[in-house]
């Protein structure tokens, strides 16, 4: 089988791939120069929709509505956009071997693809309980959410298990967003996670107490400090119970697991330098091998404002790193220079009628301000993180666009703080004055 050759290949078909394609088009890529290879059957789409609008019982999000680049406020790139712009979209194709020395990729069906420049945008895969040998974890109706096929299977289960019992294993992003979306389907929800509070990698105990209280007021039960140790199933192989390590047993018609992900770097083990769980890059997303770039979840890159290498799993970084890599590739070809990547860490979530944003770094002491009573009619509160006398991070629930911009500016400029108590009293006013 003759190899297909391209000047540029983007390996992966997620968010990064779509934003890279758009940037290549802006840069004037010629027909036939660029290919995107994805194991998914759908053209690149905004993945965050899967844990939010896709599961809504009324007016659910569906493709083509959330193809990239709508999440970043741009034009929606329908599947036809790619050939219209001379870009070959190679879907339902899993690459099983990569050889960077010969610049060759090989698919599961034996096809080979040659490139001059490669962008690795393989993203992450979910961590499965079966990876840890949890008994019964391969039963039917135990779901993970990463791709649109996963979401379709979960939707089918929701429709077939009307008024059923759902156990969500995990209290992070996926757990909280799915808890909200599934409860809107009139399902009986129980969340289980081992940590002392939800979202411990970002939330303080004070922030978490608000969301746990809010979810409890919505009828969602929360069990903390234990894990799922096994699953029982009926004669059809369908899950019907979750056994917890503390001895409790929970009835379950559906189980959804959200316990994290792993960057998909396996194809390049031993070929590219890795650090902190990802492929090491510079501020232009160049890897240790010439003409190979890595973006999004798989890249460990210099976070300029903090002077250290980090790996970031977030859609905002997936978009921006892809654009940066393409700009860097074109600049290199033209012998010009661009600025190194200067990223302000950003996280957000929407659930029920809540919406929060966080910018910066969650290190140091914290100051909570505002109304974080989960029973309030219109709760609104935030938190600042202070390190070495400066505000380095800011969180805000239910902020306006202007207020969210203000906390982003605070995290970026890192203003000094003299009086912590005064900061608590000033609250959001402090950010709006900067």
| Nearest-angstrom CA–CA distance, 362 and 275 | 22
The pTM is what? Answer: 0.96
| Nearest-angstrom CA–CA distance, 327 and 284 | 9
CB-based contacts of 63: which residues, under 8 Å, 6+ apart?
42, 45, 148
| Nearest-angstrom CA–CA distance, 339 and 146 | 33
The sign of the CA dihedral 195, 201, 206, 207 is negative
Walk across the sheet containing 308-311 and list its strands: 274-275, 278-280, 299-303, 308-311
The number of beta carbons lying within 10 Å of the beta carbon of residue 162 is: 10
Q: Which long-range contacts (CB under 8 A, 24 or more apart) does 226-230 make?
A: 226/192, 226/194, 227/169, 227/192, 227/193, 227/194, 228/129, 228/134, 228/167, 228/169, 228/192, 228/255, 228/257, 229/134, 229/135, 230/134, 230/135, 230/136, 230/137
Contact 357, 395 (CB under 8 A): yes
Q: Is 188 helix (H, G, I), strand (E, B) or coil?
A: strand
Provide DSSP, 226-257: --EEEEEE-TTSBEEEEEETTS-EEE-SEEEE
What b-and-e string marks burial along 211-247, b requiring 16 or more CB atoms within 10 Å of the CB? bbbbbeeeebebbeeebbeebebeeeebbbbbbbeee
Residue 73: its pLDDT value, please? 86
* Orientation angle between helical segments 15-26 and 315-334, nearest 10 degrees: 30
Largest CA distance in the chain: 71
Q: Is 71 helix (H, G, I), strand (E, B) or coil?
A: helix
* CA 37 distance to own-chain centroid: 20
118: β partners: 9, 292
- What pairing do the DSSP bridges indicate for beta strands 299-303 and 278-280? parallel
Domains annotated on the chain, with CATH: 4-124+262-334 (3.50.50.60), 129-259 (3.50.50.60), 353-433 (3.30.390.30)
CA atoms within 13 A of residue 127's CA, in its CB half-sphere: 12
Contact 411, 396 (CB under 8 A): no
| Nearest-angstrom CA–CA distance, 123 and 23 | 19
Residue 296: its pLDDT value, please? 98
Walk across the sheet containing 239-244 and list its strands: 228-233, 239-244, 249-251
- The DSSP output letter for 190 is E
Contact 120, 290 (CB under 8 A): no
In this structure, the dihedral spanned by the alpha carbons of residues 407, 366, 320 and 53, taken in order and rounded to 10 degrees, is -80
| Nearest-angstrom CA–CA distance, 416 and 410 | 10
Contact 247, 228 (CB under 8 A): no
Instruction: Note the residue count of the chain.
Output: 434
- Between the two ends of the chain, the Cα-to-Cα distance in Å is 62
Torsion-angle region of 101 (φ positive above 0: left; ψ -120 to 50: alpha; else: beta): alpha
Q: Is 45 helix (H, G, I), strand (E, B) or coil?
A: strand
**pLDDT block averages, 10 residues each, the chain of length 434:** 93 98 97 98 97 94 97 94 98 98 97 98 96 95 97 96 96 96 96 97 97 98 97 97 98 97 97 97 98 98 96 96 98 96 96 97 97 96 97 98 98 95 96 92
């Amino acid at each position: 089988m003759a190899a297909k050759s391209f000047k540029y290949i983007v390996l992966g078909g997620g968010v990064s791939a779509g934003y890279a394609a758009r940037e290549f088009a802006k840069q004037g890529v010629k027909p036939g120069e660029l290919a995107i290879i994805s194991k998914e059957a759908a053209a690149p789409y905004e993945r965050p929709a899967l844990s939010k609008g896709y599961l809504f019982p009324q007016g659910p999000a569906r493709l083509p509505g959330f193809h990239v680049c709508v999440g970043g406020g741009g034009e929606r790139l329908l599947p036809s956009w790619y050939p219209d712009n001379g870009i070959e979209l190679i879907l339902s194709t899993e690459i099983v071997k990569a050889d960077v020395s010969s610049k060759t990729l090989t698919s599961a069906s034996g096809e080979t693809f040659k490139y001059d420049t490669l962008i690795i945008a393989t993203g992450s895969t979910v961590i499965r309980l079966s990876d840890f040998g949890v008994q019964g974890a391969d039963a039917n109706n135990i779901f993970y959410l990463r791709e649109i096929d996963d979401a379709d299977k979960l939707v089918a289960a929701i429709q077939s298990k009307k008024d059923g019992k759902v156990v969500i294993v995990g209290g992070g992003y996926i757990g909280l967003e799915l808890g909200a979306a599934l409860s809107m389907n009139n399902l009986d929800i129980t969340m289980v996670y081992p940590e002392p509070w939800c979202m411990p990698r970002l939330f303080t105990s004070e922030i978490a107490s608000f969301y746990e209280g809010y979810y409890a007021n919505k009828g969602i039960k929360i069990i903390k400090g234990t894990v799922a140790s096994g699953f029982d199933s009926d004669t059809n192989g369908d899950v019907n119970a979750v056994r917890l390590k503390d001895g409790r047993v929970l009835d379950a018609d559906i189980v959804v697991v959200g316990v994290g992900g792993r960057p998909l770097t396996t194809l390049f083990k031993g070929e590219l330098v890795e650090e902190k769980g990802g492929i090491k890059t510079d501020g232009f997303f160049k890897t240790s091998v010439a003409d190979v770039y890595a973006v999004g979840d798989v890249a460990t890159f210099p976070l300029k404002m903090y002077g250290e290498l980090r790996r970031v799993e977030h859609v905002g970084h997936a978009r921006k790193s892809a654009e940066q890599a393409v700009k860097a590739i074109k600049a290199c070809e033209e012998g010009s220079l661009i600025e190194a990547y200067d990223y302000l860490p950003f996280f957000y979530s929407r659930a029920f009628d809540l919406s929060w944003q966080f910018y910066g770094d969650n290190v140091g002491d914290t100051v909570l301000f505002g109304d974080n009573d989960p029973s309030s009619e219109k709760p609104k509160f935030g938190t600042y993180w202070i390190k070495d006398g400066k505000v380095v991070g800011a969180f805000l629930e239910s902020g306006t666009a202007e207020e969210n911009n203000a906390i982003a500016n605070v995290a970026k400029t890192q203003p000094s703080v003299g009086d912590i108590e005064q900061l608590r009293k000033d609250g959001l006013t402090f950010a709006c004055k900067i």
